[in-house]
Each structure stands twice: as C-alpha cells, then as structure tokens.
Structure 1
Amino acid sequence: MFTDGSGGMELAGAGFVDTGYVKKRSNEAVPIGLKIGSTRTVLVMPNYEGSLDIVRTLTCVARYRDLFTGKLATKFGDEAAEEYADSVYFMFRAGLPQDDDSVKLAAQFIEYLVYRYNIPENSYVTLAHPAVENERGRKNLKEIISGMSIGRTGRQAWSEAFCGAIPAFEGLEAIKKTFMSVNMGSTTLEISAFRNGEPVHTVTLGTISGNLVDRKIRLGVQNETQGIVNIDLNTARKYKEEFANFIDYKPVYDSVHIHDRGQYGFKIEKSIMKPVEEYVNNVIEAIMENFFPQLAQDHYQTYKRVLTEPIILTGGMACIPGLRERIQQMLCDELEQKVTVISSERPDLAPAIGAFRISEYTLNYKE
C-alpha cells in the first residue's frame, strides 16, 4: 500500500453516470474511490441523495491538431475513442506507465476527470492499482498520486485485486480475512492471497488477459467469414461483453457494408465463446500450476485456509454470465474437494467501489 498523508453500499442503489455533471458537495471532505484500468477508469463518490455516483469512461487520450490555432489539442475518455478510434492511445495498456510521457498523460487524464465531474479538492482518494512489478512503475505510481489536485485530506493506493474483493464481503470485512482473489483484467491475470489486508503471495500473468481474448475474437470472426469481415478490437470487445455467455449462448447475427457486395449479413457461431472458453481453461491452469504450488510451499497454512474461504473473482472478464459457476466447478474437479467461488454484483466496478469504502472508512476513523 502506498500512502500520501497530505493535506455497506448496495450497487443497486448507486446512480450510474457515463457522462454528465456530478453535483457540488458540501465543505466536508468527500471519500473518493478511483480505479484507473488499462481499458476503463471507474470513479465512485457519494451524492446528495445518499447513494453513489459511479462514473465509467475509457482510459485513453487522442491528440490532434486544432485547425484554427494550429496547436496540438487532446481529448480523453469515451469522446476520444469515438472520434479518433484509429489513433486513440490507452495510457495503461502495458500496465503502469513506464516513461515520462505516459506519466504526464496519466496526470492529464486524472485532471480531466477532476474538471469533467467536478471532483472536490477537499477529498480523500483511494486509488485501486494493478500489481506493481518493477521499481520504475512503483516510482511513477507515487508521482501520479502525489501530483493529483484532489485528495487534499489524504491519498493512498491499494492493490486492485484486494479492492475488487471488498464488495463481495460485508463492509470492510475483507481486511480481517484470509482469502484468495482472482483479478481478471484487460491486460493481466492477477491471482493473490491476502491475510488481514496484506498480500501473502501474488502471481501476475500478462499471457492471460481480456485483450488477448478480444484479439482472438477478431481473428475468429475473420476466419469464420472466410476473410470477408474484418472487425476492429473495440468491436471484438463489444461482442465479448454483449454476447459471451456460458449459460445460454446464442449465435450472433450482424451485418456490414462490403465493397462490391453491398450490405453483407453474417453469423458468428464459435468465434466468441471459443476464445472465452480457452481463457477460462488458462485461468484454471494458472491457478493449479503457477499459484497453488508456490503458495503451499511458502505459506502452507494460508494455502489450506484460502480453500475453506470463498475465492473472489473480480475484473471485467468476471462479468460474463456463467463464468463464475464454470470456474467453481472446474476448481472443484481439479482439487477433488468443494470450493466456493463468488463475486460482487458488478465485478468490473468492484475495485473502485472497494476503494471508495476504504476512503469512507478512513475519513470516519479520522473523525
């Protein structure tokens, strides 16, 4: 956990905000939860109605030259992706920023959020971040946190895998537990064991990710249509998010205008679920071959304990209907014992909601 000492919610009750203006708040310090993901950023804060405003936007920037002034200008988030899909840059696609330019863009992106959604300076901010595997990434993360204009009351950063597990428990019960969390993100698979809020053992794999699933879907659609249809990665991601389903998958019908063919209708039968099924098999393999053996060797009692507690799934891939049940059954079969796998109602929003709860608790504790 990084800190900067400067200056039980149910998701159904939250106000979901994709765009728009978040109301100004009182002079009291406001708890903020922020998750800056490789694909999407989620911001959680309270509103006057006593529920939560949840803002979700793409973590990207587009640079272009203003035709009138001739100067370079920038657009961020969903607007950038919609208008400049061919050149938009996702600052966190490779994990935490590793160079000065990416750090600068990340800082500008945060200030865009501050301005766009009127986030008060008088706030306590908890940032949910992916696993930090190198010193440069750790240094850049500290720089980004310390440079924020918000969080005058305080700032801290916690593991995204831990924050994402918090909404699956009551309140902040996760801090008192020993459990295992599987963060199924866009760029990495992060498997962690936590004991009283501290990571005991973590395995991070960039070879198992939601982005790789998107690439396979894109290639699969091309192959399934004999090379006639070529979709971009954003479309592949939308297919996955809208249609992937382990419970009741149905073939997807779509159409596109093709040169010399006119409007061309096509059917997708295997190109969506096959990559998703491969992803789940790879997750099980990573847990059984990479995570459990090392955890059992170094922390045997923790290993035994996590098998008796619910295993938490978090991250965007965990939103696929039936995926949680599939992983639970496969783990039971592999371990030859009963294990329980759970997730929050919205695993993709869970890290930011968990970060918000930490900020809320910290402010109440200070009082």
Structure 2
Amino acid sequence: MTATAALEVEGLSKSFGDVAAVDDVHLRIDGSEFLGLVGPSGCGKTTTLRMLAGLERPDTGVVRIGGKPATDLPPRSRDTNIVFQDLVLFPHMSVAENVGYGLARQGIDGDRRRRRVEEALELVSLPSYGDRDPAALSGGQKQRVALARALVNDPTVLLLDEPLSSLDRALREEMQSELKRIQRESGTAFLYVTHDQESAMSMSDRIGVMREGRIVDIGTPEELYGRPKTQFVADFLGGATTLRGDVTAVDGDRAAVETALGGFEAAASRSDPSVGETVTVVIRPESVSVGEGPFSGTVRRLAYKGFYRQVTVETGDGGTLAARTAVDSRTTPDRPAGGGGMATGDRIRFAIDRAVIVDDEDE
C-alpha cells in the first residue's frame, strides 16, 4: 500500500497576463522528505510556492496536502506553514510569544501552549531564549525563531522561500546543517525554494529543477549532478563542458562517442542512444585529469579557488574545456601557488575520466 504523500501537485499552472509563470507542474513530496526546488530567477518557483501556501490561486491544477484536497482552501485552512526570505518577528513580543502566536490564535493557552513553545525552541536549539527580545538576537537566531514559530503547529508541509539568502556565507552554511537536522528531528516534510544550487544540493533528499515554469528534472542530488537529464540541468547544478558527437558503439549503459576533440566513452544517462545518432555530451571539470592522456590543449586561464584551481583549456578543435587541479605550493613569478606547476599559455595533456550523454533540450 502506497503511503499518503505530504504534498501532491497535479497540472498546476498560473499565468499573469500573457506570461505563463507556472506551466503544468507535477510534484510529490513524501511524509518526511526534504525537497529542494531550484531554478534561475523568474522560473516560477516562488509562484509555485505561493500557490501551495494558498497565497495565489492557480489557473488550473490540483493540490493535495496529507491526501486531502487543498486547491480551494485559504492559507489559514491549509496544513502548511511558510518561512519567507524577509523574517517578520513581532518586535513588541518576546521570543516565546512570537513562537506561540499561532497557537494563541487557535485558542491554545496555558500550560499546553507553554509546553509546545518550549518543545519548539528546544528543537531549534534555543531552549533558554523564550524571554528574550527579538531585537537582541543575531540573524541566525532570528531564523531559528522563525522556524520554531512555523513548526510549533506541526504542519504537514513546511514551505521555505529563500530563508537563508540574507545571511553571510559562514552563517548560511551553519544554518544549512541546522535546517537539515531540524527537518529530520521534526519529521516534517520541507519544500525549500532557492536559486542557490549549493544549499539545495547539501540539504535536499531530492531536487526539482525548474525552467520557464516547468520542472524539467527531479531526482537525488547525486542523480542530478552525476546523470543530468539535459545540458541546462548540468550547467545549473555545477557547470560542465558540452560537446556534440556521433555515437559509434553502444554497450549497455555505455557508448563510444566521436567528437571534434576525439573519441571517448560516455555514460548513456537516462536516454538510450543508438549507433549513428548525434548526441550532446557533458563533462564535469573534476572528470578531467590533467597531466597525461590522449588529448592536448593550451591553458588559457587559471582561477585559484582555494583547495583547487579551475583550468580553462583551449582544445585543438577551437573549443574550450574546464578542468580542476589540486593546489600546489610551488610558485615562481609566472607560475602562481596552487597552479600545479602550470601557467597561462602552457601546452598540457589531459584525459576524460567520465562523460555523460544528455537529452537534447527540446526533448
């Protein structure tokens, strides 16, 4: 027997004038799943979230929350809560009063409300902060209070709209770990909307990638990064070199591909290429080994990234390929530290360790 989904969406669409903001979105989130929804600005992810929260009415489609119809319900009647990018903590209330505000509106008072507020603050690691003034809190602490307030009602789904985007990098990374811990301990389904691929990859059980109002791919972070469906997904989740080539042989889920660069093997991803077919191949920078190999090129750019150096190589076919090398302590005036002994203009050899055939964009 299939378990009831925390959230189901079928054929959700929304237009503003002649612009289709959301176009036939289908989505399912299981009971305790953390699902990230990512995409470039204007792709429709926030409009989707607002329709799920009841803040926008869809033109077409069905929304079910905990197996129950919710398409026509107002926000207050849906078993969801939402955490926005811009936190709204009531300045005239203490932390505990902020967290318990929704319970008070439901008529839950006295010891029952106090216990639930204490449990929510314990969940977000702020057990002794109930009497504090929100103005005295740090940015990360305010985020935790907002989460406690959203979770205190025990919603079936918690909707999060870019809640970490205003934090600095160090605090954002800390809160990513905390968000995942809180989600696991609460057992609540999270739908996390963001344009930050890195945060979605680090927290999500699955990720949906949106483009022009549609979800164009969905899967685990490992699936989407290692076997992206299209070039757009590959580029959006980390960047990749793209080549066109002809399939010369197929063996199970592997194919030999002849490109302008040369021939090499590629994983067939989720498509089934046939011999003679022209396909698109993507190569991640970390899948290129610099130093030895059948291919050669000229170093055109070196970018130091801390624990690795990004290398842009001009290949013999006139194209470019991105690679990564480990940092190196050797340094001379024309060969900066971390360059692996390389400098711009050097001729190098390289090998392609892994490549993936992806579907053409119009498929």
Q: TM-score, normalised by structure 1?
A: 0.27
- Kindly indicate which of the two structures has a greater share of residues assigned to helix: 1
Which of the pair has the greater relative contact order for Cα pairs under 8 Å at 6+ separation?
A: 1
Larger Rg over CA atoms? 2
What TM-score does the superposition give when structure 2 sets the normalisation length? Answer: 0.27
